[in-house]
Amino acid sequence: MSTGFSPYQLPDDYADIRAAARGVCDTGVAPHAAEADETATFPEQSYAALRSADLHAPHIPAEYGGAGIDALGTAIVIEEVARACASSSLIPAVNKLGSLPLILDGTEELKRRYLPPVAAGDAMFSYCLSEPEAGSDAASMTTRAVRDGDGWVLDGVKRWITNAGVSEFYTVFAVTEPGKGAKGISAFVVEKSDPGVSFGKPEKKLGIKGSPTAEVYFDQVRLSADRLIGQEGQGFSIAMRTLDHTRVTIAAQALGIAQGALDAATAYAAEREQFGKPIAAFQGVQFLLADAAMKISAARELTYAAAARSERGDADLTYFGAAAKCFASDAAMQITTDMVQVLGGYGYTRDFPLERMMRDAKITQIYEGTNQVQRIVIARELAKGVLNR
């Protein structure tokens, strides 16, 4: 597939990916979305449906057993899954987030050990960066990895870890050289089965309830030297480079949530009658739907442009990844709120999916860097003149 597409028309390959993903999601994911939310349980049936179509980790290269779908195609997959169920969209999104450090900087041995099980659907991969006292200021982390012979001993706590306890593999960032700040952080692969790894209780969240979020504890976890990703001291750089790419997936998730909300509200407005006519005939409702459609169209163009830059590794990816994530998530929050309004009292009930979509949308403004942080990133990139090159 080529990422040199026209901004106004995608090649047929991507239309085929969308059609395949939508078919799977309409029949194998959407029917389980409400239950995953209401019971706050991982959507195993949705995971099975995604695995059956190789959409659970579409980004993994074919040489490691994956579907080999590029960044744009992966964004489309995540968009379509999120349209059906935001919790389920975190399966492909977090598999990419957790494994991308290996793809970017891991040794061939690490890639061949850990990527094929994820590609086969036998394991999932999570990403451990945030800590109780190190959120937006990730470089202030205190999790330590200390050399011990030819290996390492890992101690610390990571917080807000998506799919914690479900994933088999974790990319973990830890301080290896205290006093060096960001340059003293390294990245490691940790397995769920490693002695000393344990998990906290799942957080009680506003949304994405079907995707468990919990603390991960490391108590004297012994790691062999070959678990190091990249070089010692490169961990923070790896973490930030990864987020440049995966903020695009959060933009895609937000885009899918917004599209799902617009689709549901549009269908409702065409059927619901008041004063002898469908409410879609009333200008006040029309304006809400029209504004949502415009914002979704703009968010989609920006997200796809960022995805193409991710695939090519363009110099302005940092700007576009932050901009797409920020714009699409802000749009999703506004759109889902407005679509609840279209349904009125019904939108406020669990009989319809809009209130769930509104709750799910909120997290897209927070994780992988709050939107306030994204605006800082955008401003710094502007100061560098990245858009003028």
User: In the prediction, which pLDDT does 387 show?
Assistant: 86
CA–CA distances in Å: residue 191 to residues 125, 176, 196, 220: 9, 19, 10, 14
Percentage above 70 pLDDT, the chain: 98
Residue type, 14: Y
Confidence of residue 136 (pLDDT cuts 50, 70, 90): confident
Using CA atoms of 327, 358, 87, 60 in order, give the dihedral in degrees to the nearest 10.
-20
Which pair of tokens denotes residue 173? 């960032």
Rounded to the nearest integer, the mean pLDDT of the chain is 97
CA–CA dist 363, 300 (Å, integer): 19
Q: Is the pLDDT of residue 71 over 80?
A: yes
Q: Is the pLDDT of residue 3 over 70?
A: no
Domain 125-235, what fold?
Butyryl-CoA Dehydrogenase, subunit A; domain 2 (2.40.110)
Is this prediction's pTM over 0.75? yes
Residue 368 annotated as catalytic? yes
pLDDT at residue 299, rounded to an integer: 99
What pLDDT digit, counting tens, does each position of 167-207 carry? 999 999 999 999 999 999 999 999 999 999 999 999 999 99
Average pLDDT rounded to a whole number, residues 288-297: 99
The answer, yes or no, to whether residue 310 has pLDDT greater than 90, is yes
* pLDDT (0 to 100) of residue 4: 59
Sign of the C-alpha dihedral computed for residues 57, 216, 238 and 190 taken in this order: negative
Residue 1 has pLDDT above 80, yes or no: no
Q: Angle at CA 37, nearest 5°, toward 54 and 84?
A: 45
The reported pLDDT for the residue numbered 260 is 99
Look at residue 8 and tell me whether its pLDDT is greater than 80.
no
Q: Which range, of 1-5, 233-237, 316-320, 359-363, averages the lowest pLDDT?
A: 1-5
Residue 327 has pLDDT above 80, yes or no: yes
With beta carbons less than 8 A apart as the criterion, state whether 242 and 101 touch. yes
CATH 2.40.110.10 range(s) for the chain read: 125-235
pLDDT for position 137: 86
pLDDT at 192: 99
- What would the pLDDT profile of 112-133 be if each residue is shown by its tens digit? 999 999 999 999 999 999 999 9
Enumerate the CATH 1.20.140.10 domain ranges in the chain, comma separated.
236-388
Give pLDDT tens digits for 139-163: 899 999 999 999 999 999 999 999 9
pLDDT exceeds cutoff 70 at 7: no
Catalytic position from the list 79, 80, 311, 368: 368
Q: Which CATH architecture has domain 236-388?
A: Up-down Bundle (1.20)
CATH fold, domain 12-119, is: Butyryl-Coa Dehydrogenase, subunit A; domain 1 (1.10.540)
Helices 12-28, 44-52: axis angle to 10 degrees equals 150
Instruction: Kindly tell me if the per-residue pLDDT of 5 is higher than 80.
Output: no
Residue 139, pLDDT score: 84
pLDDT band (50, 70, 90) for residue 138: confident
CB contact at 8 A, 260 and 357:
yes
Residue 300 clears pLDDT 80, i.e. is over it: yes
Per-residue 3-state assignment (H helix, E strand, C coil) for the chain? CCCCCECCECCHHHHHHHHHHHHHHHHHCHHHHHHHHHHCCCCHHHHHHHHHCCCCCCCCCHHHCCCCCCHHHHHHHHHHHHHHCHHHHHHHHHHHHHHHHHHHHCCHHHHHHHHHHHHCCCCCEEEECCECCECCCHHHCCCEEEEECCEEEEEEEEEEEECCCCCCEEEEEEECCCCCHHHHEEEEEEECCCCCEEECCCCCCCCCCCCCEEEEEEEEEEEEHHHEECCCCCHHHHHHHHHHHHHHHHHHHHHHHHHHHHHHHHHHHHHCEECCEEHHHCHHHHHHHHHHHHHHHHHHHHHHHHHHHHHHCCCCHHHHHHHHHHHHHHHHHHHHHHHHHHHHHHHHCCCCCHHHHHHHHHHCCCCCCCHHHHHHHHHHHHHCCHHHC
Range(s) within the chain of domains with CATH label 1.10.540.10: 12-119
